Amino acid sequence: MRLKGPSMHRLLAGVGIAALSLLASPALAEEPKSGGTFKLVGSGDVAGFDPVSARTAAVFLHRALTRTLVAFPTDPDPKVASRPVPDLAEAVPTPEEGGLVYRLKIREGATWNTPDARQITAADAIRGFKRLCNPVQPTGTPTYYIGVIKGFEDYCDGFAKVAGDVDSIRSYVEGTEVPGLVAEDERTLKITLERPTADFNSILALVSSAPVPVEILDYLPNSPELRRNYVSSGPYVIDEYVLNETLSLKRSDTWNASADPLHKAYVDRIEVAFGTPDAGKTQRMIEAGDIDGYFDLSIATADLTRIMANPSDPQLLQFADGAVNPILVLNIASPNNNKALGDLRVRQAINYAVNKAAIVQVGGGPAVKEATDQILTANVVGYEPYDLYPTPDHQGDPEKAKQLLAEAGFPNGIELKFSYASGGRYDLYSAALEADLAKAGIKLIMQPAPSRTVMSQMYQNRQATNGGAWDVGMTSLRADWVGDSARTMIIPMFHGEACESSTSNWTCYNNPEVNALIETALTATDEAAAAAAWAKADRMIMEDAPIVPLITGKISLYASKRMRGTTVNLLFNNVDPTLVWIAE
């Protein structure tokens, strides 16, 4: 299906960076102390612990366990936090040969947590890339590497045919070369790209790009055995891991602080207890001093309202994560209502009908959330604010929505199947949407289900999507990093090439003009040119109206009274476990 929006004027390239609101305690001026245990509580174990598949909560853990070639620093200034700095590499590489070659030299003395404290090598770095497209649990972001690193697409095509057992995976990884990955000597890695990629240093800063030791090939990717026997390159190692119950890290005996400028490792231990999905209960535990912080949740709306009565509370940590959460996804492939969602006027009607101001209130109120009307946010290069479907104070325009529905052949309104992940704020958001859309004659048939069920049986199920099992979905759009990260918000859901096999472009949105803008942005040799292309793509997608962006804003966390060094890292949206320390 080809969706085409009207022509648009050229947008100016620019970088919008949201101010980071991080309330810091005066005690941060104290001299950091070593020792003690940093205690957290989480709703559940991490789904993807393996570096190739690690997401936010797992990335928080890997900040303590796994070093990357370069890394995003922990800094309250988003402009600083968005610029990679050296980690395992001696320097952030400067592109050579017209942007096609990157050379990185690994620090001497940076070692694996093995009995002999073995030097981390260029071969280890190559092995990390090679595991990305393993047949058991490949990376969720293949486009960061496939079509980017020379020869990586052919390598991954071959890997897809390999049996998913330990011996077969080890044999393929160790026995198959990638032309674009070469160890020039023990500690020097040469990476050759297919084409210039302006954000490649940011890709190198992701945990998925981390070097891995040969021992990791003894276990299936993301298996319980890998988790329990993980070989660390960072300042901490796994002491005990009881799946779905607890995870304990302790400071490594072999970590070489002199070869690590980024991690300080002040606390002796980091302990996470899983199984508390109630954010209110977690908040009470933090305030009582029983634990120190959140692992994978944030402050519940009810608690936030109370805490915000004292916005200068030094234990309150607030930051803009750059996400649009939630958004509504409109299933343009659905055959329901005579393919109604394939009609631009119906999709525009939904955009006009939503009361975003009500969603702001559910999300915590205007002190922490605001309505948004586009894909990119102020933390992302290419952000240019606009609103194609304005309503008074973002409260919705039911009459405009009814008019558009009538023009599309639905003068008496329309019924849409609304599938969403139940639990937490999504239930509250959904209730508000149901009431407000009804005012425009849009009746939602509510289909709540557990998150995993909605994702696997609805959104990512091509048969269910094309068959009309759902018409409207709810999810989020978030950048994988701050700064030059527009690709991470636009490509997964809106790049139409190979959309039939995509697990993220659920409805097979495919606009050739958007595809061309994406390619222009990806191959741009400077940030301004990339920003201009991303801004145009953002607006053109919203002209097609395949989604309804709702709100963006700040995430709110809370730290115990004894914690110091609680600046939030914007890569994983939590405090840096290697920089926090205990004042007691």
Q: What is the pLDDT of residue 26?
A: 42
Report whether 298 contacts 286 (CB < 8 A): no
d(CA 83, CA 210): 17
Q: What is the pLDDT of residue 22?
A: 42
Model confidence band, residue 370 (pLDDT cutoffs 50, 70, 90)? very high
d(CA 373, CA 291): 38
d(CA 356, CA 14): 26
Residue with tokens 């003068």: 411
Element (H, E) at 56: helix 56-65
Element (H, E) at 170: helix 166-175
User: Has residue 423 got a pLDDT over 80?
Assistant: no
Report whether 429 contacts 297 (CB < 8 A): no
d(CA 317, CA 240): 29
Q: What is the pLDDT of residue 55?
A: 86
Counting residues of the chain whose pLDDT is more than 90, the rounded percentage is 84
Q: What is the pLDDT of residue 321?
A: 85
User: Has residue 252 got a pLDDT over 60?
Assistant: yes
Model confidence band, residue 305 (pLDDT cutoffs 50, 70, 90)? confident
Q: What is the pLDDT of residue 282?
A: 97
**55-89 pLDDT tens trace:** 889 999 999 999 999 999 999 998 899 999 999 99
> Phi and psi for 189 in degrees, rounded to 5?
-105, 130
Q: What is the mean pLDDT of the chain?
A: 92
| 3-state SS class at 465 | helix
CA distances from 362 to 18, 296, 551 (A): 22, 20, 10
Q: What is the pLDDT of residue 140?
A: 83
Average of pLDDT values for 424-433?
A: 92
d(CA 311, CA 317): 10
- The residue among 498, 421, 507 whose CA lies nearest residue 464 is 507
Q: What is the pLDDT of residue 451?
A: 85
**105-136 pLDDT tens trace:** 999 999 999 999 999 999 999 999 999 999 99
Give the largest CA-CA distance in the chain: 75
d(CA 352, CA 361): 18
Element (H, E) at 356: helix 356-362
d(CA 292, CA 286): 6
Torsion of CA 291, 297, 298, 300, to 10 degrees: -100
Q: Considering only 160-169, 260-269, 451-460, 574-583, which range has the smallest mean pLDDT? A: 451-460
Q: Output b/e per residue, 193-211; b: 16+ Cβ within 10 A.
A: bbebbbbbbbbbbbbbbbb
Q: Which residues contact 31 (CB under 8 A, 6 or more apart)?
A: none
Q: What is the DSSP string of 483-527?
A: BS-HHHHHHHHH--TTGGG-SS-TT----HHHHHHHHHHHH-SSH
User: Has residue 488 got a pLDDT over 80?
Assistant: yes
Q: What is the pLDDT of residue 527?
A: 85
**491-527 pLDDT tens trace:** 999 999 888 878 889 999 999 999 999 999 998 888 8
**What's the pTM value of the predicted model, to 2 decimals?**
0.86
**2-61 pLDDT tens trace:** 343 333 333 233 333 333 344 444 444 689 999 999 999 999 899 889 999 998 899 999
CA distances from 427 to 323, 368, 415, 436, 459 (A): 19, 19, 19, 15, 18
Tokens of 530: 């990339």
> Phi and psi for 556 in degrees, rounded to 5?
-120, 125
Q: What is the pLDDT of residue 29?
A: 66
Q: What is the pLDDT of residue 240?
A: 96
Q: What is the pLDDT of residue 10?
A: 30
d(CA 202, CA 320): 19
Q: What is the pLDDT of residue 378?
A: 92
Number of other CB atoms surrounding residue 361 within 10 Å: 16
Q: What is the pLDDT of residue 499?
A: 87
Dihedral sign, CA of 336, 337, 343, 349? negative
User: Has residue 562 got a pLDDT over 70?
Assistant: yes
Torsion of CA 463, 467, 470, 472, to 10 degrees: 100
d(CA 389, CA 373): 8
Report whether 544 contacts 304 (CB < 8 A): no
**171-216 pLDDT tens trace:** 999 999 999 999 999 999 999 999 999 899 999 999 999 999 999 9
- The DSSP bridge pattern shows strands 324-330 and 547-549 to be antiparallel
Average of pLDDT values for 365-369?
A: 91
Q: What is the pLDDT of residue 141?
A: 85
Q: Is pLDDT larger for residue 526 or for residue 146?
A: 146
Tokens of 488: 């991470």
Q: What is the pLDDT of residue 206?
A: 96
**314-349 pLDDT tens trace:** 999 999 888 999 999 999 999 999 999 999 999 999
User: Has residue 405 got a pLDDT over 60?
Assistant: yes
